[in-house]
Structure 1
Amino acid sequence: RTMARLRRAFSMRRSLAAYRALSRKERIFFSGAIILIVIGIIGGIITLYLRMTYPAPAYGGTITEGVVGKPFAIHPFIPDSSPADGILEQLIFSSLLKPDGKGGLIADLVEEYEVLEGGKVYVISLKPDLKWHDGYPVTAEDILFTIQLIKNPEANHPLYNLFRDIDAKVLTPRSVTLTLPRAFSFLPQYLTFKIIPKHIWGTVPIQNFPFSEYSLKPIGSGPYVFKKIVSTKDGNPLEYLLGASPSYYLPGPYLQSFSIRFFSSIDEAMNALRKKEIDSVADVAANTTSHDAPGNFETITPVIPQSFGVFFNLEVAPLNDKVMRQAIRAALPVESFFATNPLDTTTRIDSPIWFIAPSPYPFNTEQSETLLASLGWKDTDNDGIKDKKLQKKDKIATPLELSLTVLDTPDMQTLGSRIQEEFKKVGIRIILKNVDINEFHSRLRSNSFQLLVVGELPTSGYYPDLYPFFHSTQKPPQGMNFSSYTDKQIDKTLVSLRGSMDPETRDLRYQEIAEAIRDDVPAIFLYRPVWTWLIQKSIKVPAVQFLNSGDERLSRVNEWYIFTKRIWK
């Protein structure tokens, strides 16, 4: 060993002596060559490593999202009072299937499902070892319990009409069967409702749901677990703190904590965004300059197929006359109206089917006046408002006066005032009724309106299930056929769409529905809002192109990440 060491030392001395014997230029050249060789070896190793591995999400990091409004109850069976409720429900609760952000579906709690007997029977199997956040197992009994609640009229669940005729039974602790009276092609799209735990809610009367502690500190089975409420001294919530669920059944969640901070206005939330106090905010009005996003934020604008329009109550005179409705439609200059309206960040529509290109309604005040005159409405007293003796025995003519109900939000009030101005130009007096959200819903359910501005939002994915909105059996209070529209042929087409989504006939059926609605005028469809979401570019999220609602962007929140690691192929 000693001799070997001596030989190496002698060799090194000879090499050093040889190096010193080189000229300055030769030393530079030699050193450069050695450096290039070393760089080449390192580069080769790095290239090989990159070829043999791929980047993957890594655990770690946090996110704080700003939300306008405060939560009232984080419970899938209590109507959302603000976006905060729905966002927290998406983070904490799970569903059988969930939206993929592109108009389709992916599995959530479901491992697989079979469709039998020509589409009338669904056998749904759950993933193994599912757990609630308190450690209790998620079983088929929880699924059955949730469906039974949907079918309970006291719950006023929006899916009541759909599920009331579906027979749900437990097959095994991990599977249920759903038996339908007839084939229903849209059913998978409706299996995105949130599941709630039977062991917590099974003994609580529905009317007491809002008063339970679990409505503010919920137990779910989703990717995030409730940790803490940060409140002011007087008890007003400022922020919800959530942590990644250790028992989550899908990959992730990679972000280890998720905070929801509450603001009183979008301007306040945007100021916090610019100060880097929050990482994300949604439902931003893109037309307001104060909402310009900082450069380190990504702007995402998915399609949300919500159709806003002026809906007629077809069960009250004079709106039960199609000619009257056509006259009113001709009086509204929708194209120029939206060019100067605060709601100009919208997409124009003339039907509730979002993917059908609009054919603008013909704005023609002369036609409107002619149609009104054909019905006997004329301005006999020169006060600017048309009138008519409704019966021969009447001594005094009745003015053409209609009420328009809108929500008492600034945008809706502005929209209502503009409609009021336009209709006055053709002699129609509009009594504007600005009402709060509770009164608005009450009027919808009781059909207590003449004209009403509302947004319809199908929740069935890319291809809308319009049955709840236009079938004659779906009138309020249980249904959402707000106009009380009735057409036997359209009823048949809506039923046919539900039975089969054959691509060869599907688009023709949608076109038929759009043309019938355009001709019968149960509503004047106006616009689809442009919905904007801002999020830090450092936070990577799956593609979000199509949503049924804003909080659906969180359906794949378990896949969000900040950090990456490399995995061997």
Structure 2
Amino acid sequence: MIEKLTLALYWVKNSLIKLYNFLDLPNKLEIRTALISFNPRSRMILSGVAILFVISSSLLFWRLNHSIVVTVAIPGGSLTEGVIGSPRFINPLLAISDTDRDLVMLIYSGLMRVGTDGKLIPDLAESYSVSKDGLVYRFKLKDKIYWHDGQTITADDVVFTIKRATDPQIKSPKRADWDGVEVKKINPREIEFVLKRPYSYFLENTTMGILPEHLWSKVAVESFSLNKLNVEPVGSGPFQFNSTKKDSLGVIQTYNLTAFADFALGEPHLKAVDIHSYSNTDELLADYSLGKIDSFGAISPEKAKSFNQNKIVKIPLPRIFGIFFNQNQNRVFTSKEVRQALDLATDKKAIVTKVLAGYGEVADNAIPPSSFGFTLEGSDAVYDPTAAKALLAKAGWKPGTNGVLQKKISISKKETRLETLSFSIFTSDVPELKAVAEMIRDQWSKIGAKVEVRIFEASDLNENFIRPRKYDALLFGEIVGRHPDPFPFWHSSQRLDPGLNIAQYTSLTADKLLEEAREAVDEKTQLTKYRLFQKEVAKDQPAVFLYSPYYLYLLSNDIKGAKFPAITNPAERFTSIYKWYTNTDRIWRFFASNKNIIKK
């Protein structure tokens, strides 16, 4: 930078001398002779004019300089982050823990990457195209892109990675994303994917990290999960593996990563990232208080209240929590008036305030507020327990001797039975969910419902109640996604295990809208289908939607340039880490790279 500035000043000086000579202006001797010939009064006037000229020129130069000088991010600084748990599989095909995924995001690159606005941008890819029928996706790789070991990235790496992802022996969590997708190499820089049917969310799959074929092709499939490359990875992402520190038992405690100069989207500003692993939150917080780490994520709302709020970053999560009614298990929920009344009797804002400490958003429909396609149209979410009581009374529900609402139900012309507004809420043994369930129980009891809260360990709840659909009402969370696909959660074909339609919702209209949204190749059509789908869900009220939480991330104030879209998993907080910086400089605009200029 200094060399460029010196050369520029030298060029300006020579140019001014040449211009002076070209205009045949007086030399030094001629100027000195002229000044001597002036009388004292004239010299004083001339001196005043000269002083004014110097002052005005200086001001003009200062303003000109100020207008062309920009602040830029420059290399330097580092991030030291604490995480819970040691990594096992720093491999995009095998990563299962949050720590695994964090390091995968830092070390690997996919064809596409999530941008700071939440939209997908090319990463290893230079460009891509989609056929009119939505079945063929063709990608062209950037020229001169490299692995951390210096080898060139080619189409062979992409094809190899997808084939390994779909190999049943690998048992990759990503396998379902690529089943039925044909991948083929067109030339060293082009790859083609062929789908069996249009799938509008396919591009999201291409954010998966790509593996280096020249290293992994030497690894037998049966030992894929045991190879050293899973803990000493070679990728093409913004940071590369440098070293580890282990404890006395050989357990890795720290990963040191350094900036990769040839990263496809440009060399990161931060020079290093250190990831410190802890066995529990207490140990992590102890080291934070000692200044050994300067950032960490997944803070509980309760703990977040005790930290400097200027350091807490609230990142939207495309997740939605609600109480899903099982009409097949408890017939009281077959009454639409009951479902609507329970929604009216739910103080969602109080739940967000008290249980989440304000770190979340009220949810009123099947798509979270931070997700593509969200709309409030058709949702009349208000907290009105008086209206809830009136609605139930109009439907024939009356208080019994114990205050619980009852209703006579006709079984035949001569026979009736007495139905009680009583049911159980099932949820997992998570402090947040337990607190929410108890709040809702108290709110619903005020309109005459008898509610029992049943708490289970997560695996027990899943295996013995969710999978066989043996629950009255289920307090649960759904990870819908940034660009959501509600199909698995709401299509009638997904009512039974392993489907995720836990409300066992059935609607021919909703089914058709979900199918059409999945196959739509343009966002405008998808938005229309999602809007109509949410209106249908709001009309049928198969669940009481409660809230969408924030991911809470404590980040040092020294880190600048960090922008966060809605994230589908915690690791995506690092998706734009190559833009983060700590150090800045001020230089003339024409010396600055546009991507390094800090916009105010």
TM tier, smaller: 0.7 to 0.9
> Which position in structure 2 is the counterpart of 1:409?
430
- Residue 577 (structure 2) aligned to one of 557, 565, 568: 557
Post-superposition CA distance 1:453-486 (Å, at most 9, x none): 332233344xx33223322344565554343433
State whether residues 133 and 245 of structure 1, in contact with CA within 8 Å, keep that contact through their aligned partners in structure 2. Answer: yes
Cα-to-partner distance string for 1:412-439 (whole Å, 9 max, x where unaligned): 2322333444556645443523324x55
CA distance 1:114–1:412, change in 2 (3 Å): same
CA distance in 2, matches of 1:390, 1:134: 76
CA distance in 2, matches of 1:304, 1:467: 19
Deviations 1:344-391 (A, max 9, x none): 4321111132242463256546368659977xx9979x6979899999
Shift of 1:99: 1.0
User: Amino acid of the residue matched to residue 549 of structure 2?
Assistant: P
CA 1:241/1:445 → structure 2, altered by over 3 Å: closer, same or farther? farther
Counterpart among 304, 316, 334 of residue 317 in structure 2? 304
Q: Which stretch shifts more, 362-371 or 131-140?
A: 362-371
The range that moved more, 550-559 or 148-157, is: 148-157
Alignment partner, residue 18 of structure 1: none
**Which segment drifts farther, 396-405 or 539-548?**
396-405
Q: Which residue of 2 is the match for residue 345 of structure 1?
A: 359
Question: For each residue in 1:45-79, what CA deviation from the matched residue of structure 2 results, as whole angstroms up to 9, or x when unmatched?
Answer: 66555555544332222121233444343333345
**In structure 1, C-alpha distance between the alignment counterparts of 2:409 and 2:164, rounded to whole Å:** 51
Q: Calculate the aligned-residue CA RMSD, in Å.
A: 4.5
1:490-569 equivalent positions in 2, closer than 5 A: 490-500=510-520, 506-565=526-585, 566=587, 568-569=590-591
Matched residues in 1 for 2:237 and 2:565: separation?
22
Report the AA paired with residue 253 of structure 2.
L
Q: 1:193 to 1:51 in 2, by over 3 A?
A: same
Opposite residue 446 of structure 1, the aligned amino acid is R
Contact 1:444 1:476 (C-alpha < 8 Å) held by counterparts = no
- The whole-number CA distance in structure 1 between the counterparts of 2:390 and 2:536 is 21
Structure 1 SS opposite 2:73: strand
Amino acid at match of 1:413: K
- AA aligned to 1:291 is S
* Aligned match for 1:278, one of 266, 275, 293: 293
- Match of 2:199, as an amino acid? F
Is 1:74 the counterpart of 2:90? The answer is yes
Q: Which of 337, 356, 360 is 2:375 aligned to?
A: 356
* % identical equivalent positions: 26
Once the two structures are TM-superposed, the CA of residue 251 in structure 1 deviates from its matched residue by 0.9
User: Aligned partners of 2:66, 2:500: CA distance in 1, in Å?
Assistant: 55
Structure 1, unaligned runs of 5 or more: 1-7, 16-25
Give the 3-state SS of the residue equivalent to 1:254 in structure 2.
coil
**In the alignment, is the contact (CA less than 8 A) between 1:542 and 1:560 conserved in 2?**
yes
CA distance in 1: counterparts of 2:497 and 2:158, whole angstroms: 26
| 1:228/1:339 CA distance change after superposition, 3 Å | same
Query: 2:351 touches 2:436 (CA, 8 Å); kept in 1?
Result: no
- Whichever residue aligns with residue 389 of structure 2, its letter is E
The answer on whether the counterparts of 1:63 and 1:255 sit within 8 Å (CA) in structure 2 is yes
Count of paired positions? 534
Match in the other structure for 1:171:
186
- Deviation larger for 280-289 or 235-244: 280-289
The one-letter code sitting in structure 2 at the alignment partner of 1:307 is I
Alignment deviations for residues 247-267 of structure 1 (CA, whole Å, 9 cap, x no partner): 422211221110122356667
CA distance, structure 2, for counterparts of residue 148 and residue 452 of structure 1: 38
Question: How far has the Cα of 1:200 moved from its partner?
Answer: 4.8
Rounded to whole Å, the distance in 1 between the matches of 2:200 and 2:51 is 67
Local SS of the residue matching 2:316: coil
The corresponding residue for 1:216 is 231
1:483 and 2:492 are equivalent in the alignment: no
1:128-527 pair list within 5 angstroms:
128-151=143-166, 160-161=175-176, 163-201=178-216, 210-263=225-278, 269=284, 272-273=287-288, 276-285=291-300, 288=303, 290-293=305-308, 298-313=311-326, 316-318=329-331, 321=334, 323=336, 325-326=339-340, 329=343, 332-353=346-367, 354=369, 355-357=374-376, 359-360=380-381, 364=385, 366=389, 400-402=422-424, 404-406=426-428, 408-422=429-443, 426-436=448-458, 438-439=459-460, 442=463, 446-450=467-471, 451-461=473-483, 464-475=484-495, 477=497, 479-500=499-520, 506-527=526-547
Query: Could you say if the C-alpha distance between residues 196 and 534 of structure 1 is closer, same or farther in structure 2, counting changes exceeding 3 Å?
Result: same
- The TM-score normalised by the length of structure 1 is 0.77
What's the secondary structure of 1:366's corresponding residue? helix
Counterpart code for 1:347: E
Contact 1:190–1:459 (CA under 8 A) maintained in structure 2: no
Partner secondary structure for residue 93 of structure 2: coil
Contact 1:73 1:85 in 2 (8 A): yes
TM-score (normalised: structure 2): 0.74
Aligned to 1:21: none
CA distance in 1, matches of 2:578, 2:486: 31
Aligned position for 1:126: 141
8 Å CA contact 1:283–1:532 kept in 2: the answer is yes
Per-residue CA deviations over 1:149-196 (Å, capped at 9, x if unaligned) read 544567676665553233222222322211223433333233222223
List aligned pairs for 1:32-71, cutoff 5 A.
51-52=67-68, 54-71=70-87
Q: State whether residues 160 and 213 of structure 2, in contact with CA within 8 Å, keep that contact through their aligned partners in structure 1.
A: yes
**Which runs of 5 or more residues in structure 2 are unaligned?**
1-27, 36-43, 592-600
Question: CA separation in 1, counterparts of 2:435 and 2:133?
Answer: 50
* Counterpart secondary structure, 2:551: coil
> Secondary structure of 2:133's match?
helix
Q: Is residue 134–residue 521 contact of structure 2 (8 Å, CA) maintained in 1?
A: no
